[in-house]
Amino acid sequence: MTTDRDGERPRDGFEVFRDDRGIPHLRAPDALALARAQGHNAALDRAWQLETERHRLLGTTAAHLGAEAADWDGFARRARLADTARRCYARLAPETAAWVAAYVDGVNAGLAEGAARAPEFAAARLAPGRWEPWTPLGVWLATHILFAGFPTKLWREEVARRLGEDHLTLFATDGPGTSGSNGWLARAERTATGAAIIAGDPHRFIEDPGVYQQIRLACPAFDVVGLAVPGVPGIAHFGHTGGVAWAITNAMADYQDLYRERLRRTASGTVEAFGTDGWYAVHAHTETIEVAGAAPRTVEVIETDRGPVITGGPAASGDAPATAVSLRHPPRVTGELGFDALPALLRSRTVADLDAALDRWVEPVNVVLAADTTGAALHRTAGHVPVRPYENRLRVVPADDPAYAWREGVEPLPRTAVGSTAVMANERGLAAPLGVEFAPPHRADRIQALLDGRTDWTPADMAAVHTDTLLASARPLLELLAGTTGLGPAALRLRARLLAWDRRMDAGSTEATLYARLRTEVVRRLAGHPALAAVTGADDPWRSTAYPPVFRPWLAAVPRIGYALETLLTAGLLPYEDRSALVAAAAEAVAATCADGPGPSPWGEVHRVSPWQALPDATPEEVWPGLAGDHDCVLSTSGVPGVTDLFARGPAARFVWDVARRDNSLWAVPFGASGVPGSAHHRDQTPLWASGGLAPVVTDWNLLHRTEESTAMTIPPTGTTGTTGTTGTTGTSGAPPTTGTSPTSPTAGAAVPALRPAAYEQKVEGFGTVRMVPVDPGADAGLLHGWVTEERARFWGMGDHTREEVREIYAYVDSLPTHHAYLALRDGVPAALFQTYEPAADPVGECYDVLPGDVGVHLLIAAGDVAVRGYTAALLTAFVGFVFSDPACLRVVVEPDARNAKALDRMVRIGFRLGPEIEKPEKTARLAFLTRAALRLP
């Protein structure tokens, strides 16, 4: 890091290279500069994705995405995701906090340009907001808060209530969609490379843009390739440092608890909860969720001693206490997310280094495989699992019973020695002591069998493991089909065809399609069986409970039956005769559809990916590729049996790490390196991914292309980018650009104020979001000239200035390190001009005794909606918050024209103390002062 001549603004040089697929390779002189480069690159390549994630953690997505997003926003607010992220950031080691803040500086420096490239911003009428140092922690938390599937406990409660306690775990399965992540390791004795090979494919909900970004991060301290999460610095889950490589899968651990709370509201409005020592007051406040195209919604945020209340609320004063459910999870309790592990992972050279780094891991709980160039290998769990009774893992437990409280310490994290191979696939294996429900063993068993079949594995050979389509879980259904009697001729032909089938869910297989049809019919008939009517009929859990809509996937009965089909066809819930008759009826129904219509389409034509998009584009659904596989195949592409053959979960990336020689490694993602529609690398990897292919990992800098993004990027120092504190809930900027420049043009970031990074942002209740963005003298000259030459702005003293003179004045202000000019935007629309200055460096400092901590301000409010009641007061609230968010500011000084009685009265009403009149060359002014003490600020 070097410094400009003014000694205040560091200048970080970094280089951006890209390979032929547009994958970024970043190189910088130190780790902090590299973190800024990674943030800057993410902002350019994934601006829309980054802002989507920021709004998700804040619970402000509905403001631009509409009512469908409001349910998530309500959950994010009630679960206090943003507040938890702030807590976790505050507890980071200082060097980690600086590293994360550097990443955020890079994001903020690149967002305006990235947003100008992304047409989604204009389509959603959204301008990018400002990232705070804790935002990456919030992105990580919002991504993983539902990862452990705590709503499954709500489902189990319904099953126990409706079917009986002995059926509590009847539908044992992994949440709303089965986890399909795979990882495996073959040591040197099983490879042809002379060292270990690690491979895997995280199976998550497929998102467009993808949840993983292929990237390389290089500086003198480390050089790592891997899969990063956009919005989060470093490489957490899958990486190769040259010396050591690693991969993870979800451990399926249970580490989030739900407590049944009794809440009441007192006559004074206070909310109370009943705890182990009786009734006590709890935190409660109300927030407003803005909804595009609909009325705002209010949500009451309540937190008991256990944690935030995520469903239910207090009874009205005088009524019997109401039941609610609170969530307790490690980050909220400990203030730790595990981010201190991230820089240590990058610096790891050996398995021992990596092992030590993982000791700091918290969320989510993972199983890890690793190997290094010395021949060492690692197979362990990593994360935080609290110590508490086993029943906490199964269901909602009473809040007022101390027996269910968390105890001191954490559960021991299992590990095991690594033989010639090791496999992890969410099965009940290494992590069994930490969880309740795991994925069936089929994938793990199949991968192990494939690895055992040879001793000369190469990286290229591993693609065959990634794409294996054997469906072992088909056995119970096919065995029942084999034993059915009384079938008609068409059903008998269907049975013969399926019993001769190789049980592979290949894309070209019509038998795979027939099997899926049969399975769907069986699931639907099971759902209608009297034995399950209590959880599938009209009185289903979704309609009969007050659970928030965001939990709907965990409470839908038909998908639960589909994923638990193997268990339901073998368990004793239904007699064998009922199960056999049910399968026979399903076979007849499928056979009839084949007889009455065309033959079945190949599986790959009906089993298509259906990715999640925050703002769906105009791409017709039929262009999305079809894939082989199914939820219990190694190629785990999970539809919803009984509901749809389209799949939303699948391999979010594939990789093979060659420990012997990193540049023999391979990888692929579902779409491409760029998240920008229309980019050459937006979806150029889709055909490769769909076919099971892998692209080479390029590590030779001479084979890469240096881009214009390489720069000596000037960024304000971490923690001093204007004033960054906020008051209230940060929100969307909402409105479209208001100048004539297209928001997708290369210069829009400069010309459109709403697309500039904000120095400060504040949500003012009932008014909107106020953002302070630096004045651009050239781009804003016309706007400012129109304001300062109006009659109502006569006290500003610039009524006779030309546009060019206004531009020159603000260009001069911009050149001064002691004076700053900002446009105040209300929901993206310019509303006021706000200037700050150091009185000691201004003529006004000669007119009174300047004290340390004094900050002078000038304010010009545009015509806009000033007639709206409270308009000026709302803006002043934001201005005062802006100035005092800098702890160095102890007193605000204003000096309006002494004749401007309206302005002076306004200042007095908000707490300013009037001082003497002073003579200035252009006017007689009246000093006024506002102190921190007057506002009761610390």
d(CA 161, CA 181) in angstroms, rounded, equals 32
| Stretch (H or E) spanning 772 | strand 768-774
pLDDT at residue number 730: 30
- Cα–Cα distance measured from residue 29 to residue 97, given in angstroms and rounded to the nearest whole number: 19
> According to the model, what pLDDT value does residue 737 have?
28
Is the pLDDT assigned to residue 716 strictly greater than 60? no
Write the DSSP string, 610-629. Answer: --B-SS--S--GGGSPB---
- Cβ-contact 753, 823 below 8 angstroms: yes
> Which pLDDT value is given to residue 399?
96
* Angle CA 655–659–661, to nearest 5: 95
Q: Going by C-beta distance under 8 Å and a sequence separation of 6 or more, which residues neighbour residue 29? A: 1, 12, 13, 14, 219, 220
pLDDT(673) > 90:
yes
What are the start and end residues of each CATH 2.30.120.10 domain in the chain?
257-328
> Which of these, 622, 647, 624, lies nearest to 636 by C-alpha position?
647
Residue whose pair of structure tokens reads 């009874």 in the numeric block = 315
9 band by pLDDT with thresholds 50, 70 and 90 = very low
**Pairing state of beta strands 923-931 and 222-228?**
unpaired
**Can you tell me the mean pLDDT for 863-885?**
74
Q: Write the CA distances from 727 to 126, 757, 762, 933, integer angstroms.
A: 21, 18, 6, 17
What is the distance between the alpha carbons of residues 342 and 525, in angstroms, rounded to a whole number?
Answer: 49
Least confident of 651-665, 807-821, 861-875: 861-875
* Structure confidence at residue 304 as a pLDDT band (50, 70, 90): very high
Domain with CATH 1.10.1400.10 in the chain: 472-639
Residue 494 CA to its chain's centroid (Å): 45
- pLDDT tens profile 274-300: 999 999 999 999 999 999 999 999 999
Contact 630, 593 (CB under 8 A): no
Helices (H), 625-738: 686-691
Q: Quick one: pLDDT at residue 625?
A: 84
pLDDT computed for residue 404 by the predictor: 96
Matching CATH number, 257-328, of 2.30.120.10, 1.20.1250.20, 2.60.40.10, 3.55.50.30:
2.30.120.10
pLDDT digits (tens, 9 = 90+) for 227-252: 999 999 999 999 999 999 999 999 99
Give the homologous superfamily in CATH for domain 472-639: Aminohydrolase, alpha-helical knob region (1.10.1400.10)
Separation CA 667–CA 657 (nearest Å): 9
Predicted local distance difference test score (pLDDT) of residue 7: 31
**Token pair 């280094």 in the structure block, residue:** 353
Lowest mean pLDDT, pick from 450-464, 599-613, 773-787, 901-915? 901-915
Among 486-495, 551-560, 693-702, the minimum mean pLDDT is found in 551-560
Give yes or no for residue 749 having a pLDDT over 60: no
Report yes or no: 885 and 723 within 8 Å, Cβ to Cβ.
yes
Angstrom distance (rounded) from CA 881 to CA 850: 22
Query: What are the φ and ψ backbone dihedral angles of 882, each rounded to 5 degrees?
Result: -60, -55
Q: Please give the pLDDT value at position 16.
A: 93
So what's the pLDDT on residue 179? 61
Of 229, 219, 226, nearest to 246 by C-alpha is: 226
pLDDT of residue 537: 67
Residue 515 tokens, joined: 């099997």
Window from 541-545, 562-566, 579-583, 720-724 with minimum mean pLDDT: 720-724
Q: 759-935: which CATH topology?
A: Aminopeptidase (3.40.630)
Is pLDDT at 484 greater than 60 in this prediction? yes
pLDDT of residue 880: 87
**How far, in Å, CA of 287 to CA of 301, rounded?**
7
- In this prediction, residue 327 has a pLDDT band, given cuts at 50, 70 and 90, of very high
Identify the three-state secondary structure at position 700: coil
- Which pairing describes strands 322-328 and 257-265: parallel, antiparallel, or unpaired? antiparallel
- The confidence score (pLDDT) of residue 863 equals 63
Q: Looking at 146-150, 452-456, 919-923, which range is the least confident one?
A: 919-923
Residue 771 in this model has a pLDDT that exceeds 50: yes
The listed range with the strongest mean pLDDT (145-159, 688-702, 828-842, 916-930) is 688-702
Q: What is the pLDDT of residue 750?
A: 46
How sure is the predictor about 879, in pLDDT bands with cuts at 50, 70 and 90? Answer: confident
Q: Is the pTM of this model over 0.85?
A: no
Residue spans of alpha helices (H) in 283-423: 330-334, 341-346, 351-358, 390-394
* CA 134 from centroid of its chain's CA atoms: 13
Comparing CA positions, the residue from 442, 561, 564, 545 lying closest to residue 503 is 442
Query: Residue 198: exposed, middle, or buried by beta-carbon count in 10 A (0-12, 13-18, 19+)?
Result: buried
Residue 911 is predicted with a pLDDT of 84
Closest CA to 491 of 566, 586, 371: 586
Q: Collect contacts of 547-552 with beta carbons under 8 A, ≥24 apart.
A: 547/151, 547/154, 547/311, 548/71, 548/74, 548/75, 548/310, 548/311, 549/71, 550/71, 550/72, 550/74, 550/75, 551/151, 551/154, 551/311
Task: Of 274-278, 422-426, 685-689, 860-864, give the lowest mean pLDDT range.
Answer: 860-864
The more confident residue out of 214 and 610 is 214
Please report, as a single letter, which amino acid is at residue 130: R
How many helices and strands (H and E) does the chain possess?
31, 36
Using CA atoms, how far residue 353 sits from 196, 199, 243, 294, 626, in Å, is 17, 20, 10, 53, 41
Euclidean distance between CA atoms 504 and 475, whole angstroms: 12
Half-sphere exposure of 892 (CA within 13 A, CB side): 29
Name the nearest CA neighbour of 263 among 218, 211, 193, 319: 319
Q: What angle do CA 71, 72, 73 make, to 5 degrees?
A: 90
162 phi-psi bin (left φ>0, alpha ψ -120 to 50, beta other): alpha
What value does the mean pLDDT of the chain take? 86
pLDDT confidence tier of residue 788, bands split at 50, 70 and 90: confident
Q: Prior bond to 209 cis, omega within 30?
A: yes
SS3 for 69-96, per residue?
HHHHHHHHHHCCHHHHHHHHHHCCCHHH
Is the pLDDT reported for residue 60 higher than 80?
yes
Per-residue confidence at 748, pLDDT binned at 50, 70, 90?
Answer: very low
In this predicted model, which residue has the larger pLDDT, 816 or 504?
Answer: 504
pLDDT at 728 over 50: no
Note the pLDDT of residue 735: 29
First to last CA, the chain: 34
Higher pLDDT, 673 or 866: 673
Residue with the larger pLDDT of the pair 842 and 300: 300
Work out the percent of the chain whose per-residue pLDDT is above 90.
60
pLDDT of 387 strictly over 90:
yes
pLDDT of residue 622: 44
CA angle 115, 117, 120 (to 5 degrees): 65
935/679: higher pLDDT: 679
Place of tokens 């189990």: 156
622-654 pLDDT, tens digit per residue, is 468 889 999 899 999 988 888 888 888 899 999
Name, in order, each residue with C-beta under 8 angstroms of 243's C-beta and a sequence gap of 6 or more: 348, 349, 350, 372, 373
CA-closest candidate to residue 937, choices 919, 911, 917: 911
